[in-house]
Structure 1
Amino acid sequence: MLIEVRGTRLYVDQRGSESAPALLFLHGGPGSGSYDFLSFQGDRLAEHFHVIGVDQRGVQQSDPLTGPVNELDLIADFEALRETLGRERWSILGHSFGGRLALRYAVAHPDAVTKVVFENPAWDVLLNSETLVRAAQRIAPDIQLPPHDGPATKQMWDERIALLHQLGERRMEVYLGPDSQDLVLPADTEIADELHARSGKFSEEIMKTPEFLESLQPLLAQLTQPALLIKGEYDPATSPEEIARFQSDVPDGTYYFAKGSGHFVHAEAADAYTELVTAFLN
């Protein structure tokens, strides 16, 4: 259903009993939408929680963007959605880019968040982009990481991501474990091209903002909620430096290494993922 918040309508997919503890899912991308995650985990997690998946403003089944957008807009949207739905508190689960948003939201609204789950988060695009290029080198050893000094810049990001496009049809191999190479993401075939185009515009807008380039690692020490970090063995996004920072800085943090999985642990090891998340949140 479409729910109006802050001058736009967000597509919200709710599953499970409304009397169950609420769990908000924040998708990655930027611009991936919630369709894929909910296809793999929505009904599974809904046996234990009231699952709320939201397409971020301008993404897929939400209203198209009519102006600029940044990460702070998205955080304000989530909080407005919580109030609209009448939820006093909820847990949040962020995948990839959604892990950035989950961290921002949990720190900005600590009283609204009970627990946080991060799945292969992208907290520092300088580190994330380097890790992505290193993963691409496993497939194409001739790819070279462009030199860069100082903080992340839009030019740096564009140059590094362009290297992944050189992989062509093999790009998806970077994101998957060796036993998951035949994984198909449902949104690729089940979401209309027009809705994918909305996501493309959102991605372009968000990635040119200073908030996207900001390292969020310093926020980890400000987390007051119990937090779970899930890292796929073959995930190319979350860097070793970010994992170490989580383990050292998060007061009540739990680290889980998902052996054999890549970037989409929720799909590559769906049963184990449901059990892990359910046990942590309960």
Structure 2
Amino acid sequence: MARTRSETVETDDGVRLWAQRSGEGPPLVLCHGGPGLWDMFEDVAGSLTDRAAVHRWDQRGCGRSGPCAGPWTSERFVADLEALRRHFGLERMTLLGHSWGAQLALSYALAHPERVNALVYVSGTGIGPDSDWFDGYTANLVARLGERPERLARWRELTDRPVRSEAAERERAVLQWSAEFVDRERDLEQAGRMAERWFDINTECNKAFNAERRRTWGTPELYAACQQLDLPVVVVDGALDIRPRSAVDSLERALPRVRRVILPAAGHLPWAEDPRGFREAVTAALR
């Protein structure tokens, strides 16, 4: 049985990060989505511990990591990921990032390509401006929730509240996350699993990174940097993600060594809806 060990990683500015290592093999580091959420990769780790030493972590100020006041910048989070790499003694690693975590993993690879064997970019939104995807995402979110009119009405009611209790925040999140799944009979159940381990959403972190992305993504400088990234990259998409997949074309065009895997029956969390296809894509990157 693969051994699992939880540890505390201390950053150079004294913030304590929760981290966990499980399995044996080449090192694989997972970067969770958000921003402002926490690691939800238990199933992913469990499916890969026979292929890799899987490292999970909660980003600063989120989940099981210690409280802090930021800073909420990509530069700081890249430094936190570097602290985790040093803590576990990883000379090089395969990085897997999901959603916002795909942006973080890409940022780390651009800053430290010599430390990365390969990048697995899952359900990201590319390197273009928000106009490539955000309006489409919003429309698709409302349309999918609207398939259950009472669900859409409740989500809107909770969203419009200026202040929400923890229970209301969790309910709103589960309703919104249900739109990420393709199976409309089990979507609420699958979203509920994401919230079984619940922590406060770091809204300050979320707002800061969304503002940073609007300033720095979609620039010629970012495109040029990706053109110079001499690493194998596997882009994994669920074809039915409510974020328009065409947004990722900008990244695919820029990267010199890229392979794209599209899982036709999956949404934003492809490991939940096509576990076999997802595992095959990741294990290929590990090789």
**Both proteins in one fold, TM over 0.5:** yes
For 2:22 and 2:262, locate their aligned partners in 1 and report how far apart those are by CA, in whole Å: 28
- Is 1:16 the counterpart of 2:23? The answer is yes
TM-superposition CA deviations, 1:207-232 (whole Å, max 9, x none): 34x35642156143232110011111
Structure 1 residues 249 and 51, CA gap change in structure 2 (3 angstroms): same
For 1:63 and 1:238, locate their aligned partners in 2 and report how far apart those are by CA, in whole Å: 35
Partner of 2:217: 215
Structure 1 residues 238 and 213, CA gap change in structure 2 (3 angstroms): farther
- Is 1:196 the counterpart of 2:200? The answer is yes
Secondary structure (helix, strand or coil) at the match of 2:17 reads strand
Contact 2:9 / 2:83 at 8 angstroms: preserved in 1?
A: no
Secondary structure (helix, strand or coil) at the match of 1:118 reads strand
Choose from 5, 8, 12 the match for 1:2: 8
For 1:224 and 1:117, locate their aligned partners in 2 and report how far apart those are by CA, in whole Å: 14
Structure 1 residues 262 and 87, CA gap change in structure 2 (3 angstroms): same
Partner of 2:168: none
Residue 185 of structure 1, CA deviation: 4.7
Partner of 1:271: 276
Unaligned runs of 5+ in 2: 1-6, 147-155, 161-171
- Please tell me the residue identity of whatever aligns with 1:221: Q
Q: CA RMSD in A?
A: 2.6
- Is 1:237 the counterpart of 2:243? The answer is yes
Partner of 1:71: 74
Which protein, 1 or 2, shows the higher relative CO under an 8 Å CA cutoff with sep ≥ 6? 1
Would you say how many aligned residue pairs link Structure 1 and Structure 2? Answer: 252
- TM-score, with length taken from structure 2: 0.78
Contact 1:131 / 1:239 at 8 angstroms: preserved in 2?
A: no
Secondary structure (helix, strand or coil) at the match of 2:79 reads helix
Partner of 1:145: none
- Is 1:102 the counterpart of 2:105? The answer is yes
- Is 1:86 the counterpart of 2:93? The answer is no
Secondary structure (helix, strand or coil) at the match of 1:202 reads helix
Structure 1 residues 212 and 71, CA gap change in structure 2 (3 angstroms): farther
Partner of 2:134: 129
- TM-score, with length taken from structure 1: 0.80
Unaligned runs of 5+ in 1: 142-161
